[in-house]
Amino acid sequence: MYFAHPYSPEERGSNEVLNRYVRRFIPKERKIETISQKELDQINHWVNARPLKTLNWQSPRKVFQQHVVLGWFLQSAILKI
């Protein structure tokens, strides 16, 4: 779960959408102690694999991987200079 900062209404829209997605897997009535690590990993995968309009319909996982590869490429290019 993600909690928005106080007095930051611009954060709440995406926060509520993410909470709604997570609630598909973990209803409010379910005790958090009953959630296994495997279930958390599956939820994490689902949340990070879905395309988002704000990322030009790419998944957060793909965008992160692109940044990691780009960072590695730039770092190795700088080291060669």
44 domain residue, yes or no: yes
Rg (CA), the chain: 17
More confident residue, 33 or 7: 33
49 domain residue, yes or no: yes
More confident residue, 1 or 21: 21
What range does the domain containing 51 cover?
9-80
Strand partners, 58: 52
pLDDT at position 43 = 92
2 domain residue, yes or no: no
Total domains in the fold of the chain = 1
3 domain residue, yes or no: no
1 domain residue, yes or no: no
Distance between CA atoms of residues 18 and 20, nearest Å: 5
15 domain residue, yes or no: yes
Check if the beta carbon of residue 21 is closer than 8 Å to that of residue 47. Answer: yes
Residues ≥6 apart with Cβ < 8 Å to 19: 1, 2
Summarised one tens digit per residue, pLDDT across range 36-71 is 999 999 999 999 999 988 889 999 999 998 888 777
39 domain residue, yes or no: yes
Residue 61's identity, in one-letter code, is R
